[in-house]
Chain A
Amino acid sequence: MRSPINRRDFLLRSGGGFGGLAMSQVLGSNNSIPHHTPKAKRVIQLFMNGGVSQMDTFDPKPKLKELNGQTFDPGAGELVESVTNSPGFKVLASPFEFKQHGQSGRWVSSVFPHMAKIVDDLTFLTSMTSKTNVHGLGSYMQNTGFTLPGFPCMGAWISYGLGNISKDLPEFVVMPDPKGLPYNNLGNFTAGFLPAKHQGTVINVKSNSPINYLFPPQEAKQITPQSESDGLELLKSLNQNYAQRFPSDSQLEARIKSYELAARMQLSAPHIFDLSGETEVTKKLYGLEGDKTADFARRCIIGRRMLESGVRFVQIWSGAGGPTNNWDNHANISTELPKMTQQVDQPIAALVRDLKSRGMLEDTLVIWTTEFGRMPFSQGKAGRDHNGGSFLTWLAGAGIKPGIAHGQSDEWAWKAQKEIWCYDLHATILHLLGIDHEKLSVRHNGINRRLTDVHGHVINEILA
């Protein structure tokens, strides 16, 4: 049995990786991709897991200083709820100092000294909104557009829509925090009901075999380089004989190609993870030798190398799931938040600069994001609870108008005044990649499913 998707996959693969344009021409489909000329060729997303506090980083609220310690009262009888907090709700001013930076005069708090220096390259969405105040659901929403499990994530949709640039590497790779998987574990990188090939390939940077099954198991002593190359030859001839018996079955031909691609991946992948060729200047820029920055710096450099080698979508996570050691700062903002910012601030700023100096920022989109924000009032004495009402994302690079901010949160950064949804962010990202988010759909269980559900508007205001 062959579904249209398989046919499409085969065509995608059988050309040894010819691009999305060619593919859609071959298919002659009415949603031929790209739908318009793309500005971005590739994407790197930095996901801060746990819910970054907006009013302690990029969204200063002087009002909080004024009301510090008073019971939070938004007025007009508005219901104040908090998911894990007991009632109390005392306004908590940011313990960090904010200053204006760059030509754009963007306010940044003292927790991000390095990012403060690149604000003119960044575009802020200052009033993102989520449907939920729960980590798992929030992470799903930001990654897949739905609060339920089982939907394809953005990387999978992009892989599905555009196919691969590189012949030798997967389209979509994910580098989770080596401390552990994020909320929802692998659920955030899933292809959902799209074919399995579109799911994120998880890279474990600390492992000898950073990609699952890249090489034969070490204990199998009978497998030698010679047995391997002769074996693949034999396999090819067996598979060719079988495929020739059923010439109309494209999948049999595709299987032969898939083993050739696998062999190429074995050759090219290890090169990506070998940072010995990087200059000292680069290593220093990212903080590769720094105690706190080393891990995130390594993953950012590997991410850049992947982009250079033709990976379409790279996602890097900061923070594992769970109650602490991530951006979920319930107990004490002034101590918990800096622990996280110190790990990522320098590497992220370096990544943007590095991409820029290599001319890659022209067609690479960088996205910094999180699943929701935090409350303007305290949890316990000095922490903050989850807040889907308002939070912050920034973008940089391909097709983005740099140095501006879009959106508006209320005077406490409690709720968005101008709501920007993940649907809008996703629609914008797809747009920059040449995809009309309303046209990229797949039928599943009776519904034409899209990354943006039935919502989403391209945020034209931030487009260059």
Chain B
Amino acid sequence: MLRLIASFIFCLSFTSAEETHWSLRPLEQPAIPKSNHTSPVDAFIWTQLESAGLSFSALAKKRVWIRRVYFNLIGLPPSPAEIHAYLNNTQPNAEELVVDKLLVSPRHGERWARHWMDVVRYAETHGHDEDAIRENAWPYRDWLIRALNDDMPYSNFVRSQVAGDMIIEDVPDATAATGFLACGPWDSSSQMGIQDGTTDKKIAQYLDRDDMLSATMSTFTSTTVHCARCHDHKFDPISLQDYYSLQAVFAGVDKADRLFDNDQKISRKRASLLAEQQQFANKINDPDVTKEISIWATRLERSLPVWVPLILKKVNSSTGTPHTVLPDNSVLFKGTPPERDTYNISGITDLKKLTAVQIEVLTDPSLPMNGPGRAPNGNLHLSEIHVHIDDQPVPIIRASSDFNQADWEIGKAFDGNEQTAWGIHPQEGQSHQSVFIFNEPISIFKETSIKITLKQLHGGSHLIGRLRIGLTDGKDPDGELSIPTKIANIIKIPRDGQSSEQKKALALHYLKTKNSEELATLPEPGKVFGVTSNFTALGNFKPAIKPRVVHILERGDIHSPQEVATPGTLSCITGLPSRFQIPKEHNEGARRLALANWLSDPNNILTWRSIVNRVWHYHFGRGIVSTPNDFGKMGTAPTHPKLLDWLAVEFRNRGGSLKWLHKTIVLSTTYRQSTNDRPECQAIDSGNKLLWRMNRQRLDAESIHDTVLSLSGMLDLTMGGPSARQFTSKKGIHITPTLNYLGFNPDDPANLRRSVYRFVFRTVPDPLMEALDCPNASQLAPRRESSVTALQALAMLNNRFLVRQSEHIANKLKNETDPTGELFLRAYGRPGTASEIMAVTNYKNAHGLANTCRVILNSSEFLYIQ
């Protein structure tokens, strides 16, 4: 530990005497400099070029600009027809028309959602050792695409992702947006495997909150708050207390599936019904409720069936297991339980007709965990039931039970499939009953023999330990099953004879039933892997009943807890509160909502600067601040601070419209410049920081995939839904399945979807996408590398999907009058030169069009946005 202390002392805390750092200065709109340029963006850029002795480059050729703007706004190339239309449009606003068209295309939201997914480390598996699939991650991705296509005001975009479940009044489908907080890695083996209260478990919980809070603060405010986990931030005014205040914001939630409604009315109705559940105790003496109960109970009592025990004649076990018949007509099985068994129970009855048979499985002290089953935990599995009356099989139309184990419903006891069964886990130790209803009443005579066969074939001694068979002639044989035995017994007592305890139990039951029936009438909600304080416990992973207590940890050490942290955030933003005033009796969501409101506040200088810089980054390949997630002292300073502030203020004042921002940028002269070399400018500004030309960018992995499909005409433009798994998978050794990307059929329909819908598996990434610098979603990726490697070259040459697509592109082109010329137009967006056409045609004549397409897909001009 000594060295940890040493490093702590070494770390300097922030000194306020220094001049305020640029990103924390007040956000004021700078005056637009005087210039000949109408676009304020150009005015700012030009002014700095001018003073450095530089100038704008010539505008890029029209063909170059349209290819560039298509890729930047929708991630796909323009078709030859679209290029042609633009080239022939002589109107002064021809560019604007192109841009407007692209911004309303649904492809736009898909393109920019994918950028956002990089920033927020979106993937659909847990990462870590036990890398299990999240079946419900994708609704967040669909929400993003929708929000971007709808040009949702940025403040709502921010608030939804941090506290969407709290603002459904403003943004009805925002609950799905909380997928943001959950889309990072989750340490399943620590969270589910490790016992509560142990040190390793506490560490896991602190680290999980660290993931949520650092993603939130890096994404929305470009702040490296995670640097303050062990000590005050070395360089920025972020204290240890600030950091743990943010931990406290997320102290009530975990990453898990949560339900949500897209429809605002339904969403509201569900919320009020769920809230009502907290109020039952206050309503039991309400006179209206008492009245309702009385009507309900009377109606119910009339319909309750009367069960008459079968008069036993013979009880037989296929394994010869011994049994005793008890005075209450139940049968108790004894001795060493066999693995599997089938009981045949025969008898007679005095009833004149039968409508149903009831199997009660009863507890008994002689059974493991009191039964009613004989498995070590008291569970049982009824595989199949057969009823014979005078040796004729009786068809069963329906069955009910008072409890069903998840995935082991009562219907599985008469589905004709011996592999499936009814079970009662985890409600062992209690008696249960099931009712099997005949498809029509059957007449009975005095000596009619009734035989019940109970097959219990699951194994592991999942056998019934004690049972009683009841018969009825009632019209509504399973009416009773909607209510527990205890309640049914109360109903049978006359109203005046009920004790106050019994009346209370009855009222509670009534209110619960009514509530759940009303909930059941609502349409099935969607599920999103988000954050929640309400989920079904899984192993040692249990919801926090109240927000967990978060301590400030000295040096980030779990063994050095200091005072308790209260919900809050950074203290360095002038004019915004750093500790949240939250009512004492609050839902944990109030904490996240307070942070969401703080983040989206018009006065949050970091938020507005952060987003305009991100958008700029994707258009130019480098942000005005080249460290999009770090606006602190260790990040880089803005190359154009005034432009950044002008954009931030203007963007905020225009309602946070991202589409306005895109349009402003791509129509600027700055953006429209050529990428050509200019040695005289290079000598002054070799890194092109001042933007005397446009930057050339390589297509990202997803754009390559999508563009290849658009060339072959096979791109499937279906939007949304569960992700396309572009791999085969089989059960792995443990939790993580074994994936095979290389063996996946290249023509499988899943390969034809846009890449934004590709299933991203965190610890087993797609080798092609990885070779093309697609981040693996373990960390936030505010920018992508653009690497050049031999393995990338091999992947581009030999990946089966790309090779197969080169054949499909050839097939599509082969009927054109000039396939080679057409290939240039589609892949490069320009006609080939005479010498290019000659070289390529020679190769095509020798080796075929498919091989030719493969070469073009590997060529730099195809892979770069110029």
Which residues of A line the B interface, CB within 8 A? 1-3, 5-6, 9-10, 13, 81, 83-84, 131-137, 139, 147-151, 170, 179-181, 183-187, 190, 192-193, 195-197, 199, 201, 211-217, 219-220, 222-224, 226-227, 230-231, 234-235, 237-239, 241-243, 245-249, 251-252, 254-255, 258-259, 261-262, 265-266, 320-323, 325, 443-448, 454-455, 457
Instruction: Tell me, in angstroms, the Cα distance from A135 to B400 when the chains sit together.
Output: 45
- Binary per-residue interface labels of chain B (699-728) against chain A in the complex, 1 for a CB within 8 Å, 0 otherwise: 000000000000000000000000000000
Report yes or no: A149 in contact with B836, Cβ–Cβ below 8 A: no
7 nearest A-B residue pairs (beta carbon) = A136-B129, A446-B224, A150-B778, A1-B621, A322-B734, A150-B779, A185-B763
- 17 interchain pairs, CB-CB under 8 A: A1-B786, A136-B130, A137-B129, A148-B207, A149-B778, A184-B128, A187-B776, A211-B794, A213-B768, A222-B848, A246-B696, A252-B860, A254-B788, A255-B788, A259-B858, A445-B780, A457-B3
- A213-B768, A445-B779 known; 12 new pairs, CB 8 Å cut-off, are A5-B785, A136-B130, A216-B797, A220-B803, A227-B848, A231-B851, A237-B839, A255-B793, A262-B797, A321-B129, A446-B227, A455-B4
Which residue of A223, A248, A320 is within 8 Å of B733 (Cβ)?
A320
Report yes or no: B798 in contact with A248, Cβ–Cβ below 8 A: no
Report yes or no: A239 in contact with B859, Cβ–Cβ below 8 A: yes
Which residue of B7, B195, B738, B786 is within 8 Å of A83 (Cβ)?
B195
Instruction: Tell me, in angstroms, the Cα distance from A252 to B786 when the chains sit together.
Output: 11
Report yes or no: B785 in contact with A234, Cβ–Cβ below 8 A: no
B135 beta carbon closer than 8 Å to chain A: no
Which residue of B200, B676, B790, B794 is within 8 Å of A134 (Cβ)?
B200
The number of A-B residue pairs with CB atoms under 8 Å apart is 275
Report yes or no: B763 in contact with A446, Cβ–Cβ below 8 A: no
Report yes or no: A230 in contact with B190, Cβ–Cβ below 8 A: no
Instruction: Tell me, in angstroms, the Cα distance from A15 to B776 when the chains sit together.
Output: 30
Chain A residues contacting B779 (CB-CB under 8 Å) are 149-151, 192-193, 444-445
Which of chain B's residues has its CB closest to A455's CB?
A: B3
CB contacts under 8 Å to A, within B179-211, are: 185, 187, 189-190, 193-195, 198-200, 203-204, 207
Knowing A321-B129, A445-B630, say if A197 contacts B787 (CB, 8 Å): yes
> What's the minimum C-beta distance from B3 to chain A, rounded to whole angstroms?
6
Chain B residues contacting A197 (CB-CB under 8 Å) are 787-789, 791-792
Which of chain A's residues has its CB closest to B800's CB?
A: A217
B861 beta carbon closer than 8 Å to chain A: yes
B742 beta carbon closer than 8 Å to chain A: yes
Instruction: Tell me, in angstroms, the Cα distance from A57 to B600 when the chains sit together.
Output: 58
B697 beta carbon closer than 8 Å to chain A: yes
Which residue of B198, B200, B622, B840 is within 8 Å of A1 (Cβ)?
B622
Instruction: Tell me, in angstroms, the Cα distance from A81 to B780 when the chains sit together.
Output: 34
B799 beta carbon closer than 8 Å to chain A: yes
CB contacts under 8 Å to A, within B669-713, are: 675-677, 679, 682, 687, 695-698
CB contacts under 8 Å to A, within B756-775, are: 762-765, 767-768, 770-771, 773
Instruction: Tell me, in angstroms, the Cα distance from A259 to B795 when the chains sit together.
Output: 11
Report yes or no: A149 in contact with B193, Cβ–Cβ below 8 A: no
Report yes or no: A136 in contact with B798, Cβ–Cβ below 8 A: no
Which residue of B620, B677, B798, B803 is within 8 Å of A246 (Cβ)?
B677
Report yes or no: A222 in contact with B793, Cβ–Cβ below 8 A: no
Which residue of B630, B762, B798 is within 8 Å of A216 (Cβ)?
B798
Range of interface residues on B (Cβ < 8 Å): 35 or more
- Binary per-residue interface labels of chain B (727-740) against chain A in the complex, 1 for a CB within 8 Å, 0 otherwise: 00000111010100
Report yes or no: A222 in contact with B787, Cβ–Cβ below 8 A: no
Report yes or no: A136 in contact with B187, Cβ–Cβ below 8 A: yes
Chain B residues contacting A322 (CB-CB under 8 Å) are 732-734
CB contacts under 8 Å to A, within B576-628, are: 620-622, 627
Which residues of B line the A interface, CB within 8 A? 3-4, 7, 121, 127-131, 185, 187, 189-190, 193-195, 198-200, 203-204, 207, 218, 223-224, 226-227, 620-622, 627, 629-630, 632, 634-635, 675-677, 679, 682, 687, 695-698, 732-734, 736, 738, 742, 762-765, 767-768, 770-771, 773, 776, 778-782, 785-795, 797-800, 803-804, 807, 836, 839-840, 843, 846-848, 850-851, 854-856, 858-861, 864
Report yes or no: A445 in contact with B764, Cβ–Cβ below 8 A: no
Chain B residues contacting A139 (CB-CB under 8 Å) are 129
Chain B residues contacting A170 (CB-CB under 8 Å) are 790-791
Chain A residues contacting B763 (CB-CB under 8 Å) are 149, 184-187
Which of chain A's residues has its CB closest to B844's CB?
A: A234
Which residue of B629, B742, B787 is within 8 Å of A445 (Cβ)?
B629
Which residue of B198, B224, B790 is within 8 Å of A258 (Cβ)?
B790
> What's the minimum C-beta distance from B22 to chain A, rounded to whole angstroms?
15
Chain A residues contacting B227 (CB-CB under 8 Å) are 446-447
> What's the minimum C-beta distance from A55 to chain B, rounded to whole angstroms?
21
Chain B residues contacting A261 (CB-CB under 8 Å) are 790, 793
Instruction: Tell me, in angstroms, the Cα distance from A1 to B843 when the chains sit together.
Output: 33
> What's the minimum C-beta distance from A199 to chain B, rounded to whole angstroms?
8
Knowing A135-B129, A216-B797, say if A180 contacts B860 (CB, 8 Å): no
Chain B residues contacting A181 (CB-CB under 8 Å) are 736, 764
